[in-house]
Chains A and B, each alone.
Chain A
Amino acid sequence: MNNFSQQQQKIRSAASRLLADGTVRFVIGWAPTRFAERTTVLFAHTEAEAQALVWNAHCTAALGKYLLDHRLADYAVGIVARGCESRMINRLLTDHQIWRERVYILGAPCPGMDAERCAGCRERAPVVWDELLWDADGMPETGGRQDAAPTNLDEATIADVGAGLALPAVGAACSRPLDTDTSLRSRFFRAEAVEGLSAAEKFSYWDEVYAKCIRCYACRQACPVCSCRACYVDMDRQGFQGKQHSAADNRVFGVTRAFHVADRCVECGECERVCPMGLPILGQTQKLIKEIEALTGEAYVQGMDAEEENFLGAFDLDDKDDFL
């Protein structure tokens, strides 16, 4: 915990500095809520707001997707980035969704958060950054973009929205048990839990999952891979799936979503975090990545650099076709 508070101080002072010298218009980080075991996302526009940024084991929200709201911005945005956020940023860069020079990345090697999906995480240190806030084991202290020179813009007149945020008192009890078991587990733990079942059991398992799905599309909304400006699920006309609430149509959506992100998934687990029904949908994407690794015989981790090739966007003349 001591580590967390020292690191929190580093985040605050770095954010204050960036805001003070006009490097960025705001810094994306976390803020406390009235529940001790929850944090929320904070867009700190002022130095006072930067002092409200927190860093603790409950910073479970991944921040990368918020950059997409500023993809046409003519100002720079600061972001606290752990392993997952940095892979999300690489993902968005690969997909030409954001400009590198408009993002100032504060690298924050992650000790692992209090969430089940974080326990399967293998890439906790950021892979891209402008400034590394603290050292991670085996990680060089410098790196990332050296020629930083972030675009400092004339419009960096930041509106002062008040003397800091009026944040509710921290420490109130929350009775909802969050992910309690956070012991380290395998990378594909969700998928492996289902793989052992028989075909009929798998079918009814997913039926149960998708019967609960309310198709709010939060998983799509939170996903850094889902950057299409128009999505088929928003179409007025009935397309691939019916509009009615049925397990079968929900399943079509769920499997489609998984396949759509299959080879680009950065395994941040946001889809599962934002699901209001608490559905274990990470299993679908984990399974696909596992399949890709089995087919290619190589490790497949997305978001490690901004120039990578996707499995489904390429081919090899010697690809397996054992279906013949």
Chain B
Amino acid sequence: MDVANRTNTAAGGEPKILAFCCNWCTYTGADLAGLNRMKYPANVRVVRVPCSGRVNPQFILRAFARGADGVVVCGCHPGDCHYATGNFFTRRRFMLMRGLLEFNGIDPRRFHARWISGSEAAKFRDFVSEVCAIVKGLGHE
């Protein structure tokens, strides 16, 4: 979206990807990726949230409106949620949100979700690299 205070994504520049990571699984997984010196694109900005269920659809809208080129929501695997059921609600919300974004002309390939546990550092790395490649391919809107 065209917003005046977008700063560092000039045409041809690096895309910005915002990753909402749950504190208990994915954030720990991302942390482990760092500890293991795994390389993943620096385009990803991680925002730690208490649970993937905390991700208000407004966070996503706000991110896109303020110039994010891609948004990623990550949480624990179904059944592993620290709060027992948070990610089940996320799942429904995500499915609906994706449809609505698509309806509003935002490419659903800019919006992803994955279940990544605290031990799946490699999965986190692979996933964000993959999303980064996809978003780069789409260019800037």
Q: Which residues of A are interface residues toward B (Cβ below 8 A)?
A: 191, 194-195, 197, 199-206, 232, 240-241, 246, 248-249, 251-252, 255-256, 258-259, 262-263, 283-284, 287-288, 291-292, 294-295, 311-312, 315-317, 319-321, 323-324
Contact = CB atoms under 8 A, between A and B. Distances in A.
Interface in B8-32: none
A323 B75 CA distance: 13
Given A191-B103, A201-B105, A315-B88, A324 B114 contact: yes
Nearest to B95: A295
Nearest to A202: B105
A262 B99 CA distance: 12
Nearest to A207: B105
Interface residues of B, number: 33
B124 interface: no
Interface of B: 1-3, 57-58, 61-62, 65, 78, 85, 88-89, 91-100, 102-107, 112-115, 141
Given A232-B58, A248-B1, A291-B95, 13 more contacts: A199-B106, A201-B105, A203-B105, A240-B58, A251-B104, A255-B100, A259-B96, A259-B100, A284-B100, A294-B99, A312-B96, A319-B88, A321-B95
B88 A256 contact: no
Contacts of A204: 105
20 contacts: A199-B105, A199-B107, A203-B141, A206-B104, A241-B65, A248-B1, A248-B65, A251-B1, A252-B62, A259-B57, A259-B96, A259-B100, A288-B100, A295-B95, A315-B88, A315-B89, A323-B95, A323-B113, A324-B114, A324-B115
A258 B57 CA distance: 11
Contacts, number: 105
B20 to A, nearest CB: 14
Interface of B is mostly: helix
Contact of B85 (A252, A259, A315, A321): A315
Secondary structure type dominating chain A contacts: helix
A149 B1 CA distance: 56
A139 B112 CA distance: 47
Contacts of B61: 240, 251-252, 255-256
